[in-house]
């Protein structure tokens, strides 16, 4: 699709940094990253949880929804670890190979055309893209609140954590974490900072509070909800 003229001008403007990019649902589907969409991943994880005796048939009311699966496991185990481990290992989230979209995003960030990239995904394809382009030392990679002191002029934010997280409970995955628990914490701080950019571009199946979601990028994340965006409607773009 053709980019709007104002975005092309913002990218080419001297000094750059006028655009923030939010990567959401579906960005990791394209080969060679090749991680399936939410419904496929969620059903596969649900099946494995039943096979392993973590869940019984009927424990989860909606196996198509990964948050619902995580909620069902949390009710039984007071933990989402069983979901996170299976999701991380089944789809090799730590070893995800960047597709063309990730490489382009990394290149734009390295050149300063983007001020920041926020990814709602758990895989490390974007970090791999930065490494492939030799940008690992010039871009701040913020994976958790403790990393905020390492911010640089241009940054990548893993808003929902990622496959490197030692604490599997920190993944923003359960319904409560998506809808309520982020408020007043670092997710809100990052969202506010990102929305300060003149242009905010959403890439993927982001719906701003809807239910269409990809397994690593819940579009229900309220940190970028329609309420949060309401003050900046003309500058926001979705690709």
Please tell me what DSSP assigns to residue 200. E
Q: What is the 3-state secondary structure (H, E, C) of 82-94?
A: HHHHHHHHHCCHH
Give the H/E segment covering residue 7.
Answer: helix 5-12
Name, in order, each residue with C-beta under 8 angstroms of 225's C-beta and a sequence gap of 6 or more.
Answer: 208, 209
Residue-level pLDDT at 126? 97
Q: How far apart (Å, rounded) are the C-alpha atoms in residues 86 and 184? A: 30
Tokens of 85: 């481990």
Please say if the pLDDT value at position 230 is more than 50.
no
Residue-level pLDDT at 232? 44
Tokens of 138: 């010039």
Residue-level pLDDT at 236? 57
Residue at token pair 């009927």: 58
| pLDDT tens profile 151-161 | 999 999 999 99
| pLDDT tens profile 25-62 | 789 999 999 999 989 999 999 999 999 999 999 999 99
Task: Name the percent of the chain lying above pLDDT 70.
Answer: 85
């Amino acid at each position: 699709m053709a980019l709007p003229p104002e975005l092309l001008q913002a990218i080419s403007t001297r000094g750059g940094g006028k655009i923030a990019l939010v990567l959401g649902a579906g960005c990791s589907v394209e080969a060679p990253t090749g991680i399936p969409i939410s419904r496929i991943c969620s059903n596969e994880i649900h099946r494995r949880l039943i096979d392993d005796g973590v869940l019984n048939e009927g424990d989860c009311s909606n196996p198509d929804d990964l948050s619902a699966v995580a909620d069902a496991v949390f009710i039984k185990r007071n933990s989402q670890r069983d979901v996170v481990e299976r999701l991380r290992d089944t789809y090799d989230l730590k070893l995800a190979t960047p597709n063309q979209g990730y490489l382009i995003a990394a290149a734009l960030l390295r050149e300063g055309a983007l001020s920041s990239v926020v990814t709602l995904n758990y895989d490390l394809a974007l970090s791999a893209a930065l490494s492939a382009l030799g940008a690992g030392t010039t871009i701040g990679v913020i994976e958790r609140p403790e990393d905020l002191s390492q911010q640089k002029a241009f940054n990548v934010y893993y808003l929902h954590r990622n496959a490197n997280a030692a604490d599997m409970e920190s993944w923003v995955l359960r319904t409560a974490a998506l809808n309520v628990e982020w408020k007043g914490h670092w997710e809100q701080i990052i969202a506010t900072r990102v929305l300060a950019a003149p242009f905010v571009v959403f890439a993927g199946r982001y719906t701003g509070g809807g239910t269409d979601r990809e397994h690593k990028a819940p579009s229900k994340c309220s940190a970028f909800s329609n309420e949060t965006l309401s003050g900046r409607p003309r500058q926001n773009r979705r690709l």
